[in-house]
Amino acid sequence: MADPHVLTTLRTKPHELESAIAYLEGKLDEARRDLAHVNAVIRLYEVGPDPQLPFPAHVSLNRLFRHGEMFALCKATLQASGEPMTTRELAMSVIRAKGWDEQDKVLRSAIAYRLIQALNMQAKREKVKRIGKQKGVVVWRTL
């Protein structure tokens, strides 16, 4: 005796549903990976208003300072101290002025490298003077 039409259809249905579920699970995994990538990129570029939060590893310092702000902070520090200061000391003064984490070595290093570039440009304009090195660190004074 032949199976009724309903039984034949029901016997093929589980295979179709399993295929559909496998396809949708694959799409779900793909969507989760996409979401993880988007969140990672947001973390790379996001700097929140809270200065106590750690900086992302690849933050651009260009977005953290207004034009000329870094040199203005250094110049004010040099004038207030009245003595020559090293790049490291100036970097710490900039970090303190912005209210950032003084213990963050990566941030200190990045600020110091940017300061060297900014101060060398200002030295060419004769606004500061590079007076030598102290323990391998450049020493600056105002003119």
Q: What is the reported pTM?
A: 0.58
> Looking at this protein, which amino acid is placed at residue 38?
V
Domain residue ranges of the chain, discontinuous segments joined by +:
1-45, 61-142
Topology annotation, domain 61-142 = Arc Repressor Mutant, subunit A (1.10.10)
Q: What is the pLDDT of residues 71-84, one digit of tens each?
A: 899 999 989 988 88
CB contact at 8 A, 86 and 139: yes
107 C-beta neighbours (distance < 10 Å), count:
20
pLDDT (mean) for 110-130 = 89
Beta strands across the sheet bearing 137-142: 85-86, 137-142, 128-134
Q: What is the pLDDT of residues 42-65, one digit of tens each?
A: 877 766 555 555 555 556 677 778
pLDDT (mean) for 29-37 = 91
- For residue 120, give both structure tokens: 């060398």
CA distance 82 to 126: 17
Give the contacts of 47 (CB within 8 A, at least 6 positions apart): 55, 56, 59, 63, 64
